[in-house]
């Protein structure tokens, strides 16, 4: 894994990052906190639109070059499921953020990348971690085709609508692939046209007052929720933000 970080200057949206997963920016910005990481591989100057992205300032290292493509790699960076990619994200979080880091959210990639200024990278999966030793900060880790791709520490400003609870992946039975399979089965009965060629984003969150972690399947057109699924049982769920 290339120990680098996303070096994008931004004000990131959202108490839940996406709030209700809409395509509109959320009202609560994040302030950014640099991650003190020293790259182990020197990177050549970037060509226009290429890797690595130009550094925003002297303290930034540029968006990391894409990792070598493993067998089975996909253009979307999702050759592995959310659960399969989780260990790579957790390892980075515990080694570089805090040994007590816990998963709090799987963030929709399109929304996250838009908030980061659309750096040149595949969608992959984004994991949000918190740690008691880092109160007030959220760590976002991107994994592409099973490998660490980049990370960013952000501090939310303001209160969230509902308290977020940690997510224990080992206790869940519905992985990202299964969630999409359920969506393909249930969508037509709901009057939703399921496009077999589209890449649907997913959102996983555990909010106080809900039955537990809930998947949201998002429209590839505007990142709005189409279907909610109980991540423990696979049963129907309602919007966790309401």
pLDDT, tens only, 129-151? 999 989 889 999 999 999 999 99
- From the list 174, 141, 177, 162, the residue with the least C-alpha distance to 64 is 141
Mean local confidence (pLDDT), 179-190:
94
pLDDT classification of 4: cutoffs 50, 70, 90 = very low
Model pLDDT, residue 50? 34
Residue 133 or residue 174, greater confidence: 174
pLDDT classification of 156: cutoffs 50, 70, 90 = confident
Model pLDDT, residue 176? 98
Inter-residue contact 55 to 61 (CB < 8 Å): yes
> 75: number of CA atoms within 13 Å, CB side?
3
- From the list 186, 176, 58, the residue with the least C-alpha distance to 123 is 176
Strands (DSSP E) contained in the chain are 12-13, 29-33, 102-107, 125-130, 138-144, 147-156, 201-205, 214-218, 225-230
Model pLDDT, residue 131? 95
Model pLDDT, residue 38? 26
pLDDT classification of 71: cutoffs 50, 70, 90 = low
Mean local confidence (pLDDT), 199-217:
96
Can you spell out the DSSP letters for 29-92?
A: EEEEE------SS--PPPPTT-SSPPPSSTT---SPPPPPPPTT--TTS-SS-HHHHHHHHHHH
Coil, helix or strand at residue 143: strand
């Amino acid at each position: 894994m290339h120990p680098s970080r996303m070096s994008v200057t931004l004000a990131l949206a959202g108490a839940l990052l996406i709030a209700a997963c809409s395509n509109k920016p959320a009202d609560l910005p994040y302030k950014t906190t640099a991650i003190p990481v020293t790259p182990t591989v020197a990177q050549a100057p970037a060509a226009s639109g290429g890797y690595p992205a130009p550094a925003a300032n002297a303290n930034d290292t540029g968006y990391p070059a894409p990792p070598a493509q493993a067998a089975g790699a996909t253009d979307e960076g999702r050759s592995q499921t959310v659960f399969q990619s989780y260990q790579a994200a957790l390892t980075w979080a515990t080694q570089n953020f805090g040994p007590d880091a816990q998963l709090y959210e799987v963030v929709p990639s399109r929304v996250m990348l838009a908030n980061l200024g659309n750096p040149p990278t595949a969608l992959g999966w984004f994991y949000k971690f918190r740690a008691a030793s880092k109160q007030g900060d959220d760590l976002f880790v991107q994994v592409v085709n099973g490998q660490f791709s980049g990370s960013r520490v952000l501090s939310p400003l303001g209160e969230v609508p509902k308290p977020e609870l940690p997510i224990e992946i080992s206790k869940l039975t519905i992985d990202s692939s299964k969630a999409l399979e359920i969506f393909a089965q249930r969508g037509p009965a709901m009057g939703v046209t399921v496009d077999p060629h589209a890449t649907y984003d997913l959102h996983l969150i555990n909010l106080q007052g809900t039955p537990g972690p809930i998947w949201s399947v998002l429209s590839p057109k505007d990142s709005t929720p189409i279907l909610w699924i109980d991540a423990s049982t696979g049963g129907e769920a309602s919007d966790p933000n309401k």
